[in-house]
A and B are shown apart, each in its own frame.
Chain A
Amino acid sequence: MEKIFGRPEALQDRVLSYCPGCTHGIIHRLVAEVIDELKVREKTIAVAPVGCAVTAYNFFNCDCQQAAHGRAPAVATAIKRVLPDRVVFTYQGDGDLASIGTAEIIHAANRGEQFTVIFVNNAIYGMTGGQMAPTTLPGQKTTTSPYGRDVKTAGYPIKMTEMLNTLEAPLFLARVSVHDPKNVNKAKEAIKKAFEAQIQGKGFAMVEVLSTCSTNWGMTPVEALKWLENNMIPQFPLGIVRDQEGGAR
């Protein structure tokens, strides 16, 4: 019998540590499939964040460094400078990338560092138990915004992809979602382009992936997917915002 579907080689045969219904698993798989399709697994080095994906080194079947909270872009910068012919990517959440690590991501992008960033935005802190993130929606209740995010005192969700799009150096910037199969396919296409940009030595690439956190949102996984579609996408519009190959969008 012909095997037509299996685990990507770039994913280890381990049970993921994510909650049931969490979309991290889908995103891990997409990254792993892309690595396999581009045949770069042996020369890939992943940088894990602090957050739910802190143990990503147990899931990706490639060399990995675990970085301090928010510092993955600095760590990835140096790995790529030391080993320019390897493929380096960071996998970061919204607290890691858009809060404590804003300086690191902006400056790595601004230097045009040649690595790929997978930015998982689920509008909340998952690992620490559901606190407000920089990407938490206006009015969204979290454990540290129990009355809902008040934009008068806590500001508005930060749109990292658009913010990085103000810089000259980045090559590829996109926001995708994984709330339905059609978008999962689009997400994979964007992730592939982001890795290809690096492999071709062209520059910095980031894909922001809208993701769910049914546990801390207090929803069923299905409700969470709907909530993402109805609430996050209007706040964080999907699409490729920068593709210097294909011109400005």
Chain B
Amino acid sequence: MADRVMMKGNEAIAEGAIRAGCHYFFGYPITPQNEVPEYMAKRLPEIGGTFIQAESEVSAINMVYGAAGAGARAMTSSSSPGVSLKMEGISYIAGAELPCVIVNVSRGGPGLGGLAPSQSDYFQATKGGGHGDYRLIVLAPASVQEIIDLMYEGFVTADKYRNPVMILADGILGQMMEPVTLSEVKDLQIPPKPWATTGMINGKPQSIINSLGLAYEDLEKINIRLQKKYQEIAAHEIRFQEEETADAELIIVAYGTSARVAKTAMIKAKAQGKKVGLFRPISLWPFPSQRIQELAQAGKRFLVVEMSAGQMVEDVKLAVNGKTTVDFYGKLNGTIPSVIDVNNAIIKCFASQGVA
């Protein structure tokens, strides 16, 4: 039986994780994601799970390392400044190839920044953030329902590739309430984890969770293997949504909260007679470059809308590779673009790009 309930985005992160079989949560308070640890602190003991309020985000992410290394589905959540603190641990987790989910309910920066929603952590999430040649699988929900769905997909994908997954949300998604359908999860899809450190019981060979490759050739081999895995992920884990792109002359590219504003602006522009579509990347890494390239080759022009000074726009430009024009409209930290703002940007594009 599926339950239809009203839920806050942050609660959906927690409930979605629990339904995905995550019984270990490690976190540290930071606004605007506090409902996640609060929900976990209440729920996990009821189902025999473990909630630890760690002494810092640094400690929390290293607890995720330990739990994931011991074979459990584990997660942490935080917001931008806290996620920066986790970067060392995330690099180790990627290096040791441990499956887990890290949630960033992002807020404005740099520095302590503000509490209001922002999308200015795109670079950090998709381009590294921590040291070394590693990749996170980055998923960006745009509704509370999608948060629930992607928490499940996140854990399954993390286990499938032994790779950390980041759910990149923002303060709006974390704080808003929407109706969601909570379906019963029938198949948790937890693969066997013979590599986990569960003890050398019944003749199991020694398991070592490690990201050290002291010898030069060792480290090269490790990195070649990691890159091969990332290529595999890039080939199979692209997620995006297209609306009205078939006959569009201009396609808005936006993710998360921005995509919702962009959709309303698209509807308004269509009513004004403009041929506009929407392309919403759901996987920010791997980025749906190939599909954008196809759309560019078909002559579509692009307008990227972000709540940042322009981060994802670089990936769109790389995909378009000069085939057509890419414009950008960004709202800086703390403010959300209005439908009128985006609609004006669309009209401006049509004027400057010479689109009829």
Contact = CB atoms under 8 A, between A and B. Distances in A.
Q: Which of A64, A65, A78, A81 has the most CB of B within 10 A?
A: A78
Interface string B59-70: 110111111011
A65 B24 contact: no
A74 B212 contact: no
Interface stretch (A22-30, A40-48, A91-99, A175-183): A40-48
Contacts of A76: 66
A75 B212 contact: no
Interface in B195-222: 197-201, 206-212, 214
Given A42-B199, A86-B198, A66 B70 contact: no
Most buried by A among B24, B26, B200, B214: B200
* Interface band, chain B: 35 or more
A68 B58 CA distance: 10
B265 interface: no
A81 B45 CA distance: 12
A77 interface: yes
A71 interface: yes
B52 interface: yes
Contacts of A77: 52, 63, 66
Nearest to A71: B62
Given A45-B199, A81-B50, A83-B70, A66 B24 contact: no
Contacts of B172: none
Interface stretch (A55-63, A157-165, A202-210, A227-235): A55-63
Contacts of B114: none
Contacts of A42: 199-201
A82 interface: yes
A32 to B, nearest CB: 14
Interface residues of A, number: 33
B230 interface: no
Contacts of A63: 197-200, 206-208
Looking at A62, A63, A67, which has the most chain B CB atoms within 10 Å of its CB? A63
Instruction: Tell me if B's interface is mostly helix, strand, loop or mixed.
Output: mixed
A81 B67 contact: yes
Contacts of A226: none
A168 B191 CA distance: 41
Nearest to B56: A103
Contacts of B72: 82
B57 to A, nearest CB: 11
B107 to A, nearest CB: 24
A173 interface: no
A208 B92 CA distance: 27
A66 B211 contact: yes
B334 interface: no
Interface in B230-271: none
Contact of A107 (B54, B70, B88): B54
Contacts of A82: 24, 50, 66-67, 70-72, 74
A77 B56 CA distance: 14
A92 to B, nearest CB: 13
A78 B22 CA distance: 14
Contact of B70 (A67, A79, A106, A111): A79
Contacts of A65: 65-66, 69-70, 197, 208-210
A104 interface: yes
A174 interface: no
Most interface-central of A41, A86, A106 (chain B CB within 10 A): A86
Contacts of A43: 199, 201
Please give me the 9 A-B residue pairs with the lowest Cβ-Cβ distance, nearest first.
A78-B66, A75-B66, A74-B62, A63-B197, A71-B62, A107-B55, A78-B67, A78-B63, A65-B209
20 contacts: A42-B201, A45-B198, A55-B212, A57-B206, A62-B199, A64-B206, A64-B207, A65-B65, A65-B66, A65-B197, A65-B209, A66-B211, A68-B89, A75-B63, A78-B65, A79-B67, A81-B50, A82-B67, A104-B59, A104-B62
Interface of B: 24, 26, 50, 52, 54-56, 58-60, 62-67, 69-72, 74, 88-89, 92, 96, 197-201, 206-212, 214
Given A66-B210, A78-B74, A81-B50, 6 more contacts: A61-B200, A62-B206, A68-B65, A75-B65, A77-B52, A103-B55
